[in-house]
């Protein structure tokens, strides 16, 4: 068995989730980590017995790595992936893979050189896979539409203390690209690619604090069917995400770890045994199977479920929604001075 030598770039909260998974896998070794805040890299290195560096470049110059995990601010994912690809190093990047159309072109070029995976871990949630299997059988008829709600809480300190969130240049957006992108991805995966997106973005509770959106509402048409989409960080708590898929003879409702199948006046509820929750519970439980699958794909040479081609439809939809919503939000912010 090949032991993959792995480097982690960015040593914040989500990096600790990646590190915890990598530490469990029999075919990966955390060889190094890097962060521009030395104390964060040193703390992660001390926990996992690896070497700490002050930059990705320093780490890549000193180490012989098979792969890197990018757990950095959004705008850095693409340039760092490109830098790793130039050295022939495989890339596993946190979401979002890009924040612009220009970055997508650059990332496609990198993905043509090395294996590149995207951390859309909720694709691995058991209830999502069960719903996908049911829909593929057609036992409840064709899909006729869907709706999704993400109502979480992010306050001023979440943005102020980060140094990069809440700005177009570094985060690329907020409620949609950061909190709601996993839900958007599941809708595309379950319904099909978009042929219409009508998007409205607004800043309700963080006006004057961030330049990006705290709320997004959209009417989408995915796979030719209507989808209502709402995401906001203005709620009082981090409520469970709700996705409901309407078929001709039943509704399939995904919430937390459950799948409900609603037919007429009858509701069947299925729950699933879940892997260990790492990080925040509402992130989903899919990090372990997702990262494990990435290394299985590297070892076998088979395509990874979350390769760049597989996320194209989601990313193109997200960027199209920002093309619409960002302009209107900027005009509103300017008018309010």
Residue 66 forms part of a structural domain: yes
Residue 209 forms part of a structural domain: yes
* Same domain? 113 vs 256: no
* Same domain? 182 vs 266: yes
Nearest partner of 247 among 267, 261, 229, 266, judged by Cα: 261
pLDDT (tens digit per residue) in 90-105: 999 999 999 999 999 9
Give the model's pLDDT for residue 92: 98
* Same domain? 70 vs 107: yes
* Same domain? 110 vs 143: no
Give the model's pLDDT for residue 328: 80
* Strand ranges of the sheet holding 251-255, from the earlier edge strand across to the other edge: 194-202, 215-222, 225-232, 143-151, 242-247, 251-255, 258-263, 266-271
Question: Three-state DSSP class for 149?
Answer: strand
Beta-bridge partner residues of 222: 194, 225
Residues of the chain with pLDDT under 50: 283
* Same domain? 188 vs 63: no
Residue 290 forms part of a structural domain: no
Give the model's pLDDT for residue 330: 78
Give the model's pLDDT for residue 279: 53
* Same domain? 113 vs 134: no
Give the model's pLDDT for residue 312: 98
Residue 230 forms part of a structural domain: yes
Last residue of a domain, one of 62, 91, 118: 118
In the chain the first and final C-alpha atoms are separated, in Å, by 61
Residue 65: which domain range? 4-118
* Same domain? 144 vs 113: no
Give the model's pLDDT for residue 332: 74
- The domain tally of the chain equals 2
pLDDT (tens digit per residue) in 292-316: 999 999 999 999 999 999 999 999 9
Give the model's pLDDT for residue 331: 77
Residue 99's domain is classified under what CATH number? 3.40.50.720
Last residue of a domain, one of 83, 98, 118: 118
Residue 167 forms part of a structural domain: yes
> What's the rounded Cα separation, in Å, for the pair 182 and 158?
20
> How much is the pTM?
0.95
Nearest partner of 279 among 18, 77, 47, judged by Cα: 18
């Amino acid at each position: 068995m090949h032991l993959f030598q792995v480097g982690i770039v960015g040593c914040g909260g989500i990096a600790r989730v990646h590190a915890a998974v990598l530490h469990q896998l029999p075919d990966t070794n955390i060889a190094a980590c890097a962060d521009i805040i030395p104390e964060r890299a040193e703390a992660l290195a001390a926990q996992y017995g690896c070497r700490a560096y002050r930059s990705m470049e320093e780490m890549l110059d000193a180490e012989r790595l098979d792969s890197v995990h990018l757990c950095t601010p959004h705008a850095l994912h693409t340039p760092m992936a490109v830098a790793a690809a130039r050295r022939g190093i495989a890339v596993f990047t946190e979401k979002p893979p890009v924040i612009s159309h220009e970055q997508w072109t650059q990332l496609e070029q990198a993905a043509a050189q090395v294996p590149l995976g995207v951390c859309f871990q909720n694709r691995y949630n058991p209830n999502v896979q069960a719903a996908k299997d049911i829909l593929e059988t057609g036992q409840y008829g064709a899909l006729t539409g869907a709706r999704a709600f993400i109502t979480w809480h992010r306050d001023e300190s979440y943005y102020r203390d980060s140094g990069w969130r809440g700005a177009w240049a570094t985060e690329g957006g907020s409620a949609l690209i950061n909190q709601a992108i996993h839900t958007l991805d599941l809708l595309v995966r379950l319904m099909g690619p978009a042929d219409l997106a009508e998007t409205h973005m607004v800043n309700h509770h963080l006006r004057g604090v961030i330049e990006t959106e705290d709320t997004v509402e959209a009417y989408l048409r995915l796979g030719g069917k209507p989808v209502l989409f709402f995401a906001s960080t203005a709620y009082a708590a981090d409520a469970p995400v709700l996705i409901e898929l309407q078929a001709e003879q039943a509704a399939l409702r995904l919430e937390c770890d459950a799948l409900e199948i609603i037919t007429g006046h009858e509701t069947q509820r299925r729950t699933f045994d879940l892997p260990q929750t790492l990080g925040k519970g509402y992130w989903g439980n899919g990090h372990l199977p997702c990262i494990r699958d990435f290394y299985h794909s590297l070892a076998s040479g088979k395509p990874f479920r979350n390769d760049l081609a597989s996320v194209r439809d989601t990313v193109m939809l997200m960027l199209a929604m920002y093309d619409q919503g960002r302009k209107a939000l900027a005009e509103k912010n300017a008018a309010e001075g």
